Amino acid sequence: MLLIVGLGNPGIEYERTRHNIGWWVLDLLRTKLTGLNLRLLCYSRVYELKHELKKEVDFIVYPLTYMNNSGKAVKCLYEPRMDLVVIHDDLDLVVGKTRVRFGGSSAGHKGVSSIIDALGTDSFWRVKVGIGRPFSKQEVINYVLGEPQKNEKEVLIRAADYIADQLCLLITDRNFSRFQQNINSFNSNENN
């Protein structure tokens, strides 16, 4: 079973912000899938995807706890037999750069840190989407909670759409090695 979690903040004021790139990916993923059932549980909007042949269910999750408390929602849904994939923004990657890695520290991302603390482990997949970094440290909060410029947004949408495509493949074949290789080699400025 896959537990695919997009990190973001609830509310219309956050919808188009850089910090909500995890939700952008899930929004695009949902347009590529059929047979999703919506449930509200565990402080989240949860879409279930049932696989009749495999007798499995995958979950696409929008935590409604706000970014810094994402661990509360994930802990409520997570079972050890699940493969957890968390999609989030990354200030240290250039806009549109994508990276997948398994395990490791939160690198200062408070949503990821919340999940690590709640689960008591860092053993899960992270899909990072670069949003770039502002010029001044004081601007970080306004930057991540701000909307990207038009050209930036186009690059981010291309990256989010590519990740959604790769998640569709992962849902089908469970090939994490290929998933990681494809996303790590993606260049949103070249792949139009």
CA gap 21, 17 in Å, rounded = 7
Known active-site residue 51: no
CA proximity to 78, closest of 118, 106, 51:
118
Tokens (6 digits) for 7: 């990190």
Spatial contact of 134 and 95, defined as CB atoms under 8 Å apart: no
Long-range contacts of 14-17 (CB under 8 A, 24+ apart): 14/145, 16/147, 16/153, 17/144, 17/145, 17/146, 17/147
Tell me the helix, strand and coil percentages in the chain, rounded to 5. Answer: 40, 25, 35
Closest among 57, 101, 116, 49 to 81, alpha carbons compared: 57
Residue tagged active-site, from 19, 51, 88, 109: 19
Nearest to 87 by CA among 52, 28, 127: 127
Residues serving a catalytic function are 19
